[in-house]
Amino acid sequence: MNDKEKIAEIFKSRNSFLIGSHVNPDGDSLGSELALASLLKRMGKKVAVLNPDSLPSVYNFLPYKEWLSHSCHRSTDEKDGWEVGIVVDCSEYERLKEVQKFFSSLPFVINIDHHISNKKFGDLNFLDSSASSAGEMVYQIFRTLAERPTKEEALLLYVAIVTDTNCFKFGTTAHTHRIVSELLAFGLNPRELQEKIYDIPFLAVKLLELIFSTLQISEDGKICWAEITRGMLDKINKGENEDIAQTDVFINHITSIKDTEVAVLFKELDSPPIGEAGKIKISLRSKSFVDVNKIAKVFGGGGHLRASGCLIRGALKEVEERVIAEVEKEIGNKISNV
Ligand SMILES: [Mn+2]
């Protein structure tokens, strides 16, 4: 039996499932979790979805979002007594943050993931780093169970794939497109969905203006990078607009600069106490030959071959220098190997 078949058997034979995914939920984690939850509910199972963070407002349109709960919203008894845990789109237990303990204490945990850096923490690990998204893998479970997705489930899986591939720009194979064509056949409107996910509020464009004012390019034209400082966020946001804090998609704008290979976005997280170095969140993207997972790993992060991230404590400029030096080193290695 392969991993999908084993999962299908567990879905049939067990009765209660706790589903969870990583911090900073994205389209793939949310779409995959909710599609799985809906499938299991249709199979007559007891299901809950428990995440470390709440739903970003951009995903308010997702069906079944009311099933999502996060750590502070559940009583302890709702967190216990589950037969099976399913952790999806998550490379390591630590990415579950404070809900990790509710999964690691369960008798059986299934890990469904497409990150190349996956640490195989499950009792059953269904891993495929060639999959565009966890959503693509979840769809394979539907197929193994011979379950046709409902329109809502198709929408959730479409959102998972569209967001993790940045509108089919990376990680996409013929297989991905075949799955997407099957999902669209359930009556989805791709333009409308992409608009809901990607059209950005006016204030976010104003923030982008500030980010672009910091844009830099390496001498060889291969690396482009920019900053998001606390000052910028405070100036635009004033603590009111939650959407603006969802800055993860901004890396896509840097990635689409012509003839570059690597895009890096440095984001200052919350201001540290005086005298302490703050945390900088680094997002890395590459187009064709640089392994950004390897670069992120140098700094204790990870992810995918073409999309990775890490967190470094330090002053913004100093962190920038360290990361860009590492990217230059990696590009140098690749070019000299050709
Ligand atoms: Mn994913």
Q: Is pLDDT above 90 for 274?
A: no
Instruction: Report pLDDT for 233.
Output: 85
CB 259 within 8 A of CB 249: no
Q: How remote is the CA of residue 219 from the centroid of ligand 1, in Å?
A: 33
By three-state DSSP, how is residue 267 classified? strand
| CA dihedral sign, ordered 254, 260, 262, 264 | negative
Instruction: Report pLDDT for 202.
Output: 86
By three-state DSSP, how is residue 130 classified? coil
Q: How remote is the CA of residue 338 from the centroid of ligand 1, in Å?
A: 30
Q: How remote is the CA of residue 119 from the centroid of ligand 1, in Å?
A: 15
What is the distance in angstroms between the CA of the first residue and the CA of the last residue of the chain?
41
Q: pLDDT grade, residue 74 (50/70/90)?
A: low
Q: Is the pTM of this model over 0.95?
A: no
Q: For domain 202-337, give the CATH number.
A: 3.10.310.30
The residue assigned the tokens 């959503």 is 135
Q: For residue range 211-253, what is the model confidence (pLDDT) as tens digits?
A: 999 999 999 999 999 999 988 988 886 655 555 556 777 898 9
Average pLDDT over the chain, rounded to whole?
A: 92
Instruction: Report pLDDT for 234.
Output: 84
Q: How remote is the CA of residue 86 from the centroid of ligand 1, in Å?
A: 15
Q: How remote is the CA of residue 220 from the centroid of ligand 1, in Å?
A: 31
The pocket of ion ligand 1, defined by CB under 5 A, consists of: 28, 89, 133-134, 164
Q: For domain 3-198, give the CATH number.
A: 3.90.1640.10
CB under 8 Å to 149, separation ≥6 — which residues?
Answer: 35, 39, 139, 142, 157, 183, 186
Euclidean distance between CA atoms 165 and 157, whole angstroms: 12
CA distances from 76 to 15, 19, 53 (A): 20, 16, 17
Decide if 3-198 and 202-337 have a common fold: no
Euclidean distance between CA atoms 208 and 235, whole angstroms: 12
Q: How remote is the CA of residue 134 from the centroid of ligand 1, in Å?
A: 5
Amino acid at 124: L
Instruction: Report pLDDT for 269.
Output: 87
Euclidean distance between CA atoms 247 and 84, whole angstroms: 34
Q: How remote is the CA of residue 285 from the centroid of ligand 1, in Å?
A: 14
CB 285 within 8 A of CB 298: no
Q: How remote is the CA of residue 44 from the centroid of ligand 1, in Å?
A: 27
Euclidean distance between CA atoms 334 and 338, whole angstroms: 7
Q: How remote is the CA of residue 238 from the centroid of ligand 1, in Å?
A: 31
| Residue boundaries of the structural domains of the chain | 3-198, 202-337
Q: Is pLDDT above 70 for 26?
A: yes
Q: Is pLDDT above 60 for 273?
A: yes
What's the rounded mean pLDDT across residues 319-333? Answer: 96
What's the rounded mean pLDDT across residues 310-325? Answer: 96
